[in-house]
């Protein structure tokens, strides 16, 4: 290709035109997918009205819907606000929670590009310069060095701080903060301990916490709605009651077991909290949990209190304040119920958020015991607390490792031990475990699909995952053989659902997806009907 790749120097230039335009032939090939060799652009162009309304000069995609400033005055105000926010990111008061790691990352990059090869998005996009993990960090690093440090403008070029801070730079950065799933594979790869995923996180925080700029799905319709209604899905306690009743019916019909799902039981051993999206889109997952927990004789409960039936916490992805607000309210519910501990269902960001990220925000009796459901499921399955027959799962199964649970929490083996016990045709995808690739829906992407962003996340962010899944089932291509991608995470499931549909993999390859609990329930010996419906 003769076209010149855009460098960091171009980042603040030519704000009227797109820095890159991605065409189909740029992308990493997917030879097993028919129709992938078309000439048409993988990403729909924005409409003229959208182009006139929203910033899109990075790559022609608008994930954040940043409004174009009306005049120069507004641009100036925004630039000032951005610099204010950047200062706050480096402040011991306003960003004590991430200051150490941020400074480490800003100081320690030696531009060895190990992270570039680690990045699913960079590789799948056909190595677009702007998607390098360190590209984003480098823009921020240069701005900090040049505009915030004393004498930063002296010999800026010689010292590698060659950047122009203007509205174009900021608008492109806002979008660029949403071209990374924060899977932090790059961070795990970095020999220097730099963390470009963290830069994404901090940038999103700067835009949200200082400038009020965040994707609608995450903020207005996400964490704000969560704080207002009790769940980001909008499920109210009243609706929750109706859904639980329906779930009980479902369970009876499928399993022949009449179960009264414990709700708001005081003093239970376990308060189980699911991502509330499970109830709407994948109700078989919470249903499977109920069946398994009841069969194992656990002392558990769900909560129908405001905030008590929603594990998500979108603040994890973009805003520390919103994160803290939600986490405190979730703990409050558990305290009021006098549960012994909170167990979080199959949801990656929620587990990492509440178990790990909240750890150093909670003090006194708010420091409530919290854990992932996976070790508990492992204990139930591997110590034979319920009767299971692996022959019932006699179909090819592969496992997707949710980044938040696996690389970022170190929960690697429980899900594997379970699958080895109950799925005779289980096979790993490559690479897996802590080396896994993100599904492409991480950091909120699975629920973001405004304008043309879903084209981007399906053709680029999820591209490598599609290849991995196809490779894992290479030996059984026949679409009449049902295959199952197990993804113990709501966000990953939403992305997988959209990927399988987009690439038509259910029809052409017989590939379905679902959670882990469903496979366990499906293997239970005394069910009336198979638990998994294909």
Please give the residues from 404 up to 423 whose contact with another protein meets the rule CB under 8 A: 406-414
Pairing of strands 397-399, 270-273: unpaired
Q: Judge contact between 334 and 368, C-beta under 8 A.
A: yes
- 8 lies in the site for another protein, by CB under 8 A: yes
123 sits near another protein (criterion: CB under 8 A): no
* 31 counts as binding another protein under rule CB under 8 A: no
Of residues 42, 18, 14, the one with CA closest to residue 28: 42
At how many degrees (to 10) do helices 133-143 and 167-176 cross?
140
CA distance 124 to 183: 15
Question: CB of 208: closest distance to another protein in angstroms?
Answer: 6
Do residues 351 and 272 lie in contact, with contact meaning Cβ atoms separated by under 8 Å?
no
Question: Closest CB to another protein among 375 and 424?
Answer: 375
For the record, the structure tokens of 343 come out as 């167990």
**Which residues, listed in sequence order, are joined to residue 302 by a DSSP beta bridge?**
263
Of 378-397, binders to another protein (CB under 8 A) are 379
* Minimum distance of another protein from residue 474's CB (angstroms): 26
CB 524 to another protein: min, Å: 19
**Token pair of 500 as six digits:** 């399988």
Contact with another protein (CB under 8 A) among 13, 29, 112, 528: 112
Q: Does 81 bind another protein (CB under 8 A)?
A: yes
Among 40, 363, 384, 480, binds another protein (CB under 8 A): 363
Residues 456-475 that bind another protein (CB under 8 A): none
Alpha helices in 383-462 (DSSP H): 413-422, 453-456
User: With respect to another protein, which residue has the nearer C-beta, 361 or 389?
Assistant: 361
Which region among 26-34, 99-107, 299-307, 512-520 touches another protein (by CB under 8 A)? 99-107
Q: Which listed range, 23-31, 165-173, 269-277, 466-474, lies at the site for another protein (CB under 8 A)?
A: 269-277
Q: Whose CA is closest to 1, among 32, 22, 30? A: 22
Coil, helix or strand at residue 414: helix
Q: Does 103 bind another protein (CB under 8 A)?
A: yes
Is residue 260 within 8 Å of residue 252, measured between CB atoms? no
Assess 517 for contact with another protein (CB under 8 A): no
Tell me if 500 contacts another protein by CB under 8 A: no
Q: CA 490 → CA 79, 185, 281, 308, 347, distances in Å?
A: 37, 20, 9, 17, 5
Name the residue nearer to another protein (CB basis): 239 or 333.
239
Out of 27, 28, 68, 99, the residue judged to bind another protein by CB under 8 A: 99
Q: How many residues bind another protein (CB under 8 A)?
A: 133
Interface region with another protein, contact rule CB under 8 A, candidates 288-296, 363-371, 423-431, 470-478: 363-371
CB of 132 to another protein, least distance (A): 9
Min CB(232)–another protein separation in Å: 4
Residue 108 sits in the site that holds another protein (CB under 8 A): yes
Handedness of CA 282, 286, 287, 289 (dihedral sign): positive
Distance of closest approach, residue 36 Cβ to another protein, in angstroms: 20
The span from the CA of 42 to the CA of 27, in Å, is 9
Site for another protein contains 263 (CB under 8 A): no
Strand-pairing partners, residue 486, are: 399, 514
Q: Residue 390 to residues 43, 84, 497, 529: CA-CA distances in angstroms?
A: 43, 58, 25, 15
Stretch near another protein under the rule CB under 8 A, chosen from 29-37, 234-242, 296-304, 468-476: 234-242
x/- letters, 125..164, toward another protein (CB under 8 A) = ---------x---x----------------x-xxxxx---
Q: Which two tokens stand for residue 46?
A: 């924005």
| Contact with another protein (CB under 8 A) among 19, 123, 271, 376 | 376
Q: CA 117, CA 390: separation in Å to the nearest integer?
A: 39
Closest CA to 531 of 417, 345, 399, 389: 389
Judged by beta carbon, residue 301 or residue 495, the one nearer another protein is 495
255 is an interface residue for another protein by CB under 8 A:
no
| 16 binds another protein per the rule CB under 8 A | no
Q: Is the dihedral of CA 114, 115, 120, 121 positive or negative?
A: negative
Give the residue from 261, 115, 254, 250 showing the smallest Cα distance to 188. 115
Pattern 284-303, binding to another protein, x per CB under 8 A?
x-------------------
CA 37 distance to own-chain centroid = 29
Closest of 182, 131, 124 to residue 438, by C-alpha: 182
Task: Mark 304-323 with x for binding to another protein (rule: CB under 8 A) and - for no binding.
Answer: ------x-x------x-xx-
């Amino acid at each position: 290709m003769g076209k010149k790749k855009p460098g960091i120097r171009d980042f603040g230039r030519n704000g009227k035109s797109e820095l890159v335009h991605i065409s189909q032939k740029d992308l990493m090939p997917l030879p097993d997918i028919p129709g992938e060799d078309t000439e048409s652009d993988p990403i729909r162009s924005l409409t003229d009205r959208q182009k006139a309304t929203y910033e899109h000069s990075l790559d022609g995609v608008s994930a954040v819907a940043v409004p174009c400033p009306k005049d120069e005055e507004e641009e100036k105000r925004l630039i000032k606000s951005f610099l204010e926010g950047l200062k706050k990111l480096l402040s011991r008061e306003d960003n004590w929670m991430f200051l150490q790691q941020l400074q480490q990352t800003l100081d320690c990059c030696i531009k060895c590009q190990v992270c570039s090869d680690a990045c699913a998005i960079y590789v799948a996009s056909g190595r677009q310069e702007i998607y390098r993990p360190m590209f984003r960090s480098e823009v921020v690093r240069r701005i900090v060095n040049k505009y915030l440090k004393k004498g930063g403008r002296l010999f800026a070029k010689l010292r590698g701080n060659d950047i122009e801070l203007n509205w174009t730079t900021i608008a492109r950065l806002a979008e660029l903060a949403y071209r990374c799933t924060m899977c932090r594979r790059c961070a795990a790869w970095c020999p220097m301990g730099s963390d470009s995923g963290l830069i994404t996180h901090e940038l999103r925080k700067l835009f949200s916490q200082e400038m009020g700029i965040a994707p609608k799905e995450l903020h207005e319709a996400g964490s704000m709605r969560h704080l207002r209604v009790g769940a980001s899905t909008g499920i109210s306690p009243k609706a929750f009651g109706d859904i639980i009743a329906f779930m009980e019916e479902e369970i009876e019909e499928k399993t022949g077991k009449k179960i009264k799902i414990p709700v708001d039981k005081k003093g239970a051993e376990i308060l189980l909290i699911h991502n509330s999206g499970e109830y709407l889109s994948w109700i078989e997952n919470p249903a499977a949990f109920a069946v398994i927990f009841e069969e194992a004789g656990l002392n558990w409960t769900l909560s129908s209190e405001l905030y008590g039936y929603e594990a998500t916490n979108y603040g994890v992805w973009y805003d520390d304040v919103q994160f803290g607000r939600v986490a405190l309210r979730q703990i409050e519910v558990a305290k009021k119920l006098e549960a012994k501990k909170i167990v979080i269902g199959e949801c990656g960001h929620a587990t990492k958020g509440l178990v790990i990220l909240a750890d150093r925000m909670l003090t006194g009796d708010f420091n409530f015991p919290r854990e992932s459901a996976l070790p508990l499921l492992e204990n139930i399955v591997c110590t034979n607390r319920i009767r299971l027959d692996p022959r019932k799962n006699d179909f090819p199964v592969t496992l997707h490792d949710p980044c938040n649970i696996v690389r970022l929490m170190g929960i690697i083996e429980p899900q594997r031990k379970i699958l080895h016990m109950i799925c005779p045709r289980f096979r790993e995808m490559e690479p897996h475990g802590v080396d896994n690739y993100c599904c492409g829906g991480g950091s909120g992407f699975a629920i973001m699909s405004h304008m043309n962003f879903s084209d981007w996340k399906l053709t680029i962010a999820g591209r490598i995952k599609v290849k991995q899944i196809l490779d894992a089932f290479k030996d059984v291509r026949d679409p009449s053989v049902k295959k199952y991608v197990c993804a113990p995470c709501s966000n990953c499931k939403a992305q997988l659902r959209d990927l399988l549909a987009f690439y038509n993999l259910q029809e052409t390859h017989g590939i379905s997806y679902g959670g882990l609990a469903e496979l366990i329930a499906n293997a239970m010996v005394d069910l009336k009907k198979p638990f998994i419906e294909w």
